[in-house]
Amino acid sequence: MTSAANQRIVIVTAGGRNPQILINALESRFGSVTVLLEQPESKTVFLKRRIRKLGLMTAAGQFATMVASKFGKRFTEKRTAEILRQYDADDRDNPAIPVIAVHSINTPDAIAQIRALNPAVVFLVSCRMLSASTLAAMPCPVINFHAGINPQYRGLMGGYWARVENDEANFGATVHLVDAGVDTGDILYQSRMTPSKSDTMHTYPLLQTAASTGIAVRAVEDALSGNLKPLPSNGNSRQWYHPPVWTWLWNGFSRSIW
């Protein structure tokens, strides 16, 4: 159990620019942040799981899109800089923030590290799903940042799919409690923003993150004060994945949604 005076925050992530924006925002507002840094999941494990779930062809098409996305990011630095300036977001590593390396959040070592830190809240961003046993072992509320509006755009590429579905009113991000499902937990806060014509699959997540530091801060404030007020995640619910490369190219060339 956490004490009323406990203000410690543990952030679990596999790292990257977008999570660093939220890490810095929470550290700037609260201090007392410790990061558990997961090793990224291997592409082999990722592909095997996708093949089992979606079939070989779809999984291969999605992997091709991921490769294209990684390659394309090098051409988005101008737009990236614009987003960071617009939202006063900081993506720089902060060596003053303690970082504990773990293989996976779903290991006895990671669970032991969290329980030893005894945080008031665990904040997830871009990390593995917690197993049922890991979630049950958490000593405090666990909340997640999701770059998409739940429950309509659970899973991956929420901003991209909102545009493809002609639903830009639901281009945004969600902070929610974590349960056993994929982005199915009760909602704490949501934010919505409008992508520019120069935004693409490569910059949507950055935009969603940089524009949403405020809801992350508010959710953590609520957790620290014992004042979380979750709302049920009602509405049409669907889990999304990366688009196969042929879908991405079709939407890009026919509709200018890249």
Model-level pTM? 0.93
What tokens appear for 193 in the block? 């923003």
At 70 the pLDDT is 81
Q: Identify the bridge partners of residue 177 per DSSP, sorted by sequence position.
A: 143
Query: Across the chain, what does the average pLDDT equal?
Result: 95
**Res 104 pLDDT > 80:** yes
Under the banding of pLDDT at 50, 70 and 90, the label for residue 73 is: confident
Average pLDDT over residues 180-187: 96
CATH superfamily of 9-255: Formyl transferase, N-terminal domain (3.40.50.170)
Q: What is the pLDDT of residues 118-150, one digit of tens each?
A: 999 999 999 999 999 999 999 999 999 999 999
At 5 the pLDDT is 64
At 91 the pLDDT is 97
At 131 the pLDDT is 96
At 4 the pLDDT is 47
Asked if residue 193 lies in contact with residue 210, where contact means CB atoms within 8 angstroms, the answer is: no
Segments making up each domain of the chain, as ranges: 9-255
Q: How would you classify the pairing of strands 121-124 and 9-13?
A: parallel
Q: Cα separation of 11 and 97, whole Å?
A: 11
Q: Please name the residue that has the structure tokens 């669907």.
A: 238
Q: What is the pLDDT of residues 3-56, one digit of tens each?
A: 446 799 999 999 999 999 999 999 999 999 999 999 988 888 888 999 999 999
At 126 the pLDDT is 97
SS3 127: coil
Query: How buried is residue 128: exposed, middle or buried, by Cβ count under 10 Å (0-12/13-18/19+)?
Result: middle
